A and B are shown apart, each in its own frame.
Chain A
């Protein structure tokens, strides 16, 4: 699975972009989007998803239930 950014709440501040360990975040029309194919929910990298931790607006970087949970390869 992956995280997604709720565009209507995104301030476009770009804080999340450099924090993503998978380079999954990019700017699109003034706000930021997460590429679900690259997102690993930061599993294996950090204790918590970095985009969520740095985002200034609560509940803006959230789990996208349209994708199955990410399964790290063991």
Chain B
């Protein structure tokens, strides 16, 4: 189930002082992202903040567990686990489109041996690839032999790569000791409800101990097993992330309760994701017309849970065979045919050297942000606004407007620049209905933003953006995102205060539902 895959993710926190740890993490997440609160000191370690060193070591290079790390480090999934033991109304196991990016979708299944070879091939080609996850396309723990055989092979050949998995949790309690035995530091559980009445609307059935359980009975079984598994993991110090799919009208309000339930059991990070439910995906929700949340609805829910716990906002709901930085997908470069033909040399030293460079870049980025932040000190304003950023990674404004496949969204206030999400703007295949005008698509996706920061932009889109009330900003090309955003915000406040411009709130934005196609 792709619970694991996409609509899943996870990490776990430890039980001790969970609140404090979570808060610290959230901040660290960015060691930066929350800037200004004075909590995340982001020292030379580029973001440890108040996190205990033991936890910081686990998350600092994990793009899914650390927002800050996701600008620099890549992950990969291997699709060795096709079978699933539950049915979800947002999942259709029949669907496969190589151009689509969403949980549960893969182009080819791998054997554990093929997967191990693929990991080596990718690790040699992408030295910043630090994490190997198993996320389906079914449930890793419904395929325990294949999953653990894969971990075993990789632990031997590429010992520096972090192992993680994402599960629906039904059989998790049975496998916790094995997971701990492989030194898996990160486990994601997809938990969409803690109330079986609500669960019955999301899960038609679960298969457990040779029997199919439907309705409330099945959902009760699932939630009991999920929460037990979460407790068992956090007791062992394994970081747990909880993924929840936000389904308006079904579990949207209830997710606040889910948030409390998982926090009290020591979950480290909560990832609330929008439902993906296009009719052409053939899922139950797609066919019944169940809508996903708008950008504003999603952010409001994430914000309301944030005081309680770290929220993950940089999830790209990726495929079960995704490769690369979170915002990109290089899986097409590593098909089985291609990797089998590749001669792979696994060079630990090269990887280490590369990653040291990355760390230097991170430190520089954090220092720049801190410095800029100090210029905001003393500024008093209630204004909070969003800006979009075109980036190819490394925390820089380094993408051309017209080439951007997604925009990262930052919330600016006198507290600093905080990463709050991203918007996909790829050309979407609408089941053959043709492509919409891409500029209109982009404007709808970032309609809630006051400005868009780019490395470069053509005259035409610039005029259209201005007409839509979004300020295209090229002045900070190839500079650090947060530092630039804070500098721009400071100038914005000055213009508002001087009466030169009037601050006007923006409207809502759209979360794209369609299948992702390579724009090429």
Task: Please list the residues of chain A having a beta carbon within 8 angstroms of any beta carbon in chain B.
Answer: 9, 11-15, 17-19, 46-48, 50, 53-54, 56-57
Residue among B85, B207, B210, B212 having the largest count of chain A Cβ atoms under 10 Å: B210
| Interface status of B211 (Cβ within 8 A of chain A) | yes
Which B residue's beta carbon lies closest to that of A52? B212
**A12 and B83 alpha carbons, distance in the complex (Å):** 9
A12 with B109, Cβ < 8 A, contacts A56-B84, A57-B94 known? yes
In the complex, chain A residues whose CB is within 8 Å of the CB of B137: 13
Interface range for B: 10 to 19
In the complex, chain A residues whose CB is within 8 Å of the CB of B441: none
CB distance from B204 to the nearest CB of A (A): 9
Q: What are some 13 contacts across the A-B interface (CB < 8 A)? A: A12-B109, A13-B82, A13-B84, A13-B138, A14-B83, A15-B85, A15-B142, A17-B83, A48-B212, A53-B207, A54-B83, A54-B207, A56-B87
In the complex, chain B residues whose CB is within 8 Å of the CB of A57: 93-94
Task: Please list the residues of chain B having a beta carbon within 8 angstroms of any beta carbon in chain A.
Answer: 82-85, 87, 93-94, 109, 137-138, 142-143, 207, 210-212
Majority secondary structure, A binding face? loop
Q: Of the candidates B82, B85, B210, B212, which one forms a contact with A12 in the assembled complex, judged by CB atoms under 8 Å apart?
A: B82
**A17 and B142 alpha carbons, distance in the complex (Å):** 12
CB distance from A37 to the nearest CB of B (A): 23
Evaluate contact between B210 and A46: CB separation under 8 angstroms: yes
In the complex, chain B residues whose CB is within 8 Å of the CB of A53: 207, 210-212
In the complex, chain B residues whose CB is within 8 Å of the CB of A48: 211-212
Which A residue's beta carbon lies closest to that of B144? A18
**A47 and B142 alpha carbons, distance in the complex (Å):** 21
CB distance from B313 to the nearest CB of A (A): 31
Which B residue's beta carbon lies closest to that of A18? B83
Evaluate contact between A15 and B94: CB separation under 8 angstroms: no
Top 8 A-B residue pairs of the complex, sorted by shortest distance between their CB atoms? A15-B83, A53-B212, A11-B93, A56-B93, A13-B82, A54-B207, A14-B83, A46-B210
Evaluate contact between A14 and B85: CB separation under 8 angstroms: no
Evaluate contact between B210 and A13: CB separation under 8 angstroms: no
Which A residue's beta carbon lies closest to that of B87? A56
Which B residue's beta carbon lies closest to that of A17? B83
Residue among A11, A18, A19, A47 having the largest count of chain B Cβ atoms under 10 Å: A11
Q: Of the candidates A15, A17, A19, A47, which one forms a contact with B138 in the assembled complex, judged by CB atoms under 8 Å apart?
A: A15
In the complex, chain A residues whose CB is within 8 Å of the CB of B212: 48, 53-54
**A50 and B209 alpha carbons, distance in the complex (Å):** 10
Which A residue's beta carbon lies closest to that of B94? A11
Which A residue's beta carbon lies closest to that of B136? A13
In the complex, chain A residues whose CB is within 8 Å of the CB of B87: 56
In the complex, chain B residues whose CB is within 8 Å of the CB of A54: 83, 85, 207, 212
Q: Of the candidates A9, A17, A50, A56, which one forms a contact with B210 in the assembled complex, judged by CB atoms under 8 Å apart?
A: A50
Given contacts A15-B138, A48-B212, A50-B210, 4 further A-B pairs with CB under 8 A are: A11-B82, A13-B82, A15-B82, A54-B85
**A14 and B145 alpha carbons, distance in the complex (Å):** 13
CB distance from A74 to the nearest CB of B (A): 23
Evaluate contact between A13 and B207: CB separation under 8 angstroms: no
**A11 and B85 alpha carbons, distance in the complex (Å):** 14
In the complex, chain B residues whose CB is within 8 Å of the CB of A11: 82, 93-94
**A66 and B281 alpha carbons, distance in the complex (Å):** 34
**A12 and B82 alpha carbons, distance in the complex (Å):** 8
**A50 and B85 alpha carbons, distance in the complex (Å):** 12
**A17 and B84 alpha carbons, distance in the complex (Å):** 12
CB distance from B45 to the nearest CB of A (A): 43
Which B residue's beta carbon lies closest to that of A30? B109
In the complex, chain A residues whose CB is within 8 Å of the CB of B83: 13-15, 17-18, 54
